[in-house]
Amino acid sequence: MNFELSDEQELIRRTVREFAESKVSPVAEELDREARFPYELVSELAELGLMGLPIPEEYGGAGGDTVSYAIAIEELSRIDSSVAITVAAHTSLGTMPILLFGNDEQKQEWLPRLASGQGLAAFGLTEPDAGSDAGATRTKAELRNGEWVIDGSKIFITNAGTDISACVTITARTGEDEISNLIVPNGTPGYEISAPMHKLGWHASDTRELAFRSCAVPEGNLLGERGRGFRQFMEILDGGRISVASMGVGLAQGAYDLATAYAKERHQFGKPIASFQAIQFQLADMATEIEAGRQLVHRAAWLKDTGQPFALAAAQAKLYTGLLSNRVVNAALQIHGGYGFMEEFAIARLYRDQKILEIGEGTNEVQRMVIARHLGF
């Protein structure tokens, strides 16, 4: 087994880390406080080729592998999760369905724009009554005179309502016992987008509720084979779990970095608190768990890159890093003491941003269900 990253992967880590530290870090607190979408940062990420990192070069992407993509998401999450989820949701949830299941015409129409970062993509799966039970979708699409007429709603959707949002791929019932996926361009009549939702964390990311009222799209906007929507979005979620697991590692690493720096600077009883064994043991546990989580993520990504089954590994990585990031950010805030409770300190933002990592892309409980099923139970 070779645990070394390639020269290209190391270059991506250095490039994204430098960008996150020099560009994202100085504005992260302000963006969070003002709940302002990071348009400028997205534009710069696009210039670096990071909005289409795993998309083939023939469609305008960078042609990177999944390990490289996971590294990029980790490095962004280390500084700010709002920026990281904007990239992750656009790539793994918004763009990837078109790459995996789209026909040539759909790929040529959408992928160059999305991979270049000129437009953002979203994925509309969750509904008010269809969360963990994603197959319980109630949104309907009826084929009438060469058009799919859509009625229904989606909730907690990322990237759908920005000024540069291009499209959303939604799940809909196209028959009594069938689910299909449809591409809905922004601006389509009958496609209504709510005001931004107020969230505990990820304040600078775009989260909306979507409504479809007799919203008509061409028959050709069907993504892949009719009735294959459930299998399609399950495959998309498998890949998305690698993204969220990468975010868990990155956030945990960021929290560890903040705790380590603070522990070296903060003096009590005449010495840095980092000199106390109680603090050292906490930091030692953090570092160990973070490295374990990183290896789980990289293994899942490697399995995907080599064409091997990766759903079990992705679920394990997502479950572990969600729990890991919870433990690490909680301990890191505790090391900060009262200062950690103040919004002026970055650890408070990381603490708020962490919880969704145990909910999005399937809750901890759903991950355990997925893992148990793969184990034969």
pLDDT beyond 90 at 361: yes
Q: Mean pLDDT over residues 130-159, rounded?
A: 95
Other residues' Cβ atoms within 10 Å of the Cβ of residue 114: 27
pLDDT score recorded for residue 295: 98
pLDDT tens track for 146-155: 999 999 999 9
Which pLDDT does position 351 carry in this prediction? 98
- Of residues 160, 118, 154, 157, the one with CA closest to residue 139: 154
CATH superfamily entry for domain 7-115: Acyl-CoA dehydrogenase/oxidase, N-terminal domain (1.10.540.10)
In three-state secondary structure terms, 321 is helix
Would you state the pLDDT for residue 134? 82
Mean pLDDT of the chain: 97
Specify the domain boundaries for CATH 2.40.110.10 within the chain: 120-226
Mean pLDDT of 21-43: 98
pLDDT value of residue 118:
96
pTM over the 0.95 mark: yes
- What is the fold, at CATH topology level, of the domain defined by 230-374? Butyryl-CoA Dehydrogenase, subunit A; domain 3 (1.20.140)
Confidence of residue 116 (pLDDT cuts 50, 70, 90): very high
Between the CA of residue 10 and those of 6, 16, 249, 288, what are the distances in Å?
6, 10, 17, 21
Percent pLDDT > 70 in the chain is 100
Domain with CATH 1.20.140.10 in the chain: 230-374
Residue 1 pLDDT > 80: no
pLDDT, average across residues 112-134? 94
Cα separation, 151 vs 140, in Å, equals 5
Q: What's the pLDDT tens digit per position in 288-338?
A: 999 999 999 999 999 999 999 999 999 999 999 999 999 999 999 999 999
* H-helix segments, the chain: 7-19, 25-34, 39-47, 66-79, 81-88, 96-101, 104-115, 229-265, 277-305, 311-336, 346-354, 364-374
* % residues pLDDT > 90 (the chain): 97
Instruction: Tell the CATH superfamily of the 120-226 domain.
Output: Butyryl-CoA Dehydrogenase, subunit A, domain 2 (2.40.110.10)
CA distances from 338 to 267, 325, 332, 341 (A): 14, 20, 12, 5
- Average confidence (pLDDT) over 276-288: 98
Q: Which residues are catalytic?
A: 361
pLDDT at 131 over 80: yes
Q: What is the pLDDT of residues 180-237, one digit of tens each?
A: 999 999 999 999 999 999 999 999 999 999 999 999 999 999 999 999 999 999 999 9
In the chain, list all ranges with CATH 1.10.540.10: 7-115
